[in-house]
Amino acid sequence: MAAKPALKLKRLQDLLLAGKRVLARVDYNVPMKNGRVADNARIRATLKTVETLQAQGAKVVLISHLGRPKGKPEAKYSLKPVAEELSRLLRKPVAFAPDCVGPEAEKAAAALQPGDVLLLENLRFHAEEEADDPAFAKALSRLGDVFVQDAFGALHRAHASTTGLPKRLPSAVGFLVQRELEFLDRAVGHPKRPFLAIIGGAKVSDKLGVLDKLLERVDALLIGGGMAYTFLAAQGISIGKSLLEADRVEAAKAIIAKAYGRKVECLLPADHVTVREIRPDAAPTVTQAMAVPPDLIGADIGPHTVEFFTEHIAKAQTIFWNGPMGIFEMDAFAAGSLAVAKAMAEATARGAVTIVGGGDSLAVLAKAGLAEKMSHCSTGGGASLELLEGKVLPGLAALASS
């Protein structure tokens, strides 16, 4: 199974950390609104690791990225509001340093007492982070005695904080990373059947590798979202003005052919919610068939598709979902995605294993208030997809060789 790489990884709980400075990579790339954390799910996902380190008497130094600041400081990407939210969750002050390397960061790290927590400023305020610069990794390493990797969502990136630090410090994986790897192995590598995958989102090109690998594991595949129109076009069905990746039509044909050859049900939308232009106040119409009229744009799966998608979800014992069914950010086009979320919550309640990955899918769950109703919500959509493709993530490979 791809989610069980042949790598030997040390675990946080195997180390004696009392009195040591632990440099922990976390993924606090959280949604922000008006200078405050809008969704703290990723922060909450790290609490077991942070609180365990505190309980062991470690001096905790946390590093993370936020957004895409292009290698220089930008106030809107500061992690200071995250430090405030973490402090609220821990019910204990969390120190904050205005840089992640250099004299101020080193002074703040040196001042820590056992059980203290310090969050450093955004790693991506330095271009050297994404360049995996050795000097930058060395500067980071001066802030800790031990490195703990708990940013599952960053493991597929070869950055200084993921691949550079394990070369310089004794390293281990935190509880979040352990849970992600163990859950994907147990639930996806050895699934209860029928095993159903629901794949949506805008682009086929982002999902071709995982679609190909999933066909070797699943019993049924449901395809929705903007990417579905490239698959419909591959079957000669009119898609009107809907999203099309013309250079991926042949690849879509190959996926459909592979599904047929492996006797995997591959289901596409049978009807659509359409509009003349994508606007929140657009007046939607529902098509009566798979084809989209020439002057319309598909924006969500239609009610008939919702019906048979939810029927398949109701029959499945393991369900993996990545990618929304439509432009869910606009209420007029959210029904399909919300229906999938509701059906998965019902499947979980009757004993199915439900796994959700990808930021947009998690946003759908948040909108529906159903995140807690899933068996597992992955904090790293890209990382989980690459594991499913059979790739060894650079961050894991670095940890294994440390």
Question: Side by side, which strands form the sheet with 59-63?
Answer: 95-97, 117-120, 59-63, 21-25, 146-149, 171-173
- Asked if 375 contacts 366 with a C-beta cutoff of 8 angstroms, the reply is no
15 near 169, Cβ under 8 Å? no
Is 203 noted as a catalytic residue in this protein? yes
Pick the catalytic residue: 21, 25, 42, 124?
42
Rg (CA), the chain: 22
C-beta pairs of 98-104 under 8 Å, 24+ apart in sequence: 99/125, 100/63, 100/125, 100/126, 100/140, 101/126, 101/136, 101/139, 101/140, 101/143, 102/139
Residues 21/58, Cβ–Cβ less than 8 Å: yes
Active site residue 359: yes
Catalytic residue among 142, 359, 367, 390: 359
Identified catalytic residue from 203, 213, 258, 276: 203
Catalytic residue among 144, 302, 382, 395: 382
Pairing verdict, β 95-97 and 36-37 = unpaired
Tokens of 202: 């805008």
Asked if 42 is an active-site residue, the reply is yes
The region, left, alpha or beta by phi > 0 then psi within -120 to 50, assigned to residue 236 is left
How close are the terminal C-alpha atoms of the chain, in Å?
Answer: 23
Active site residue ranges: 42, 203, 359, 382
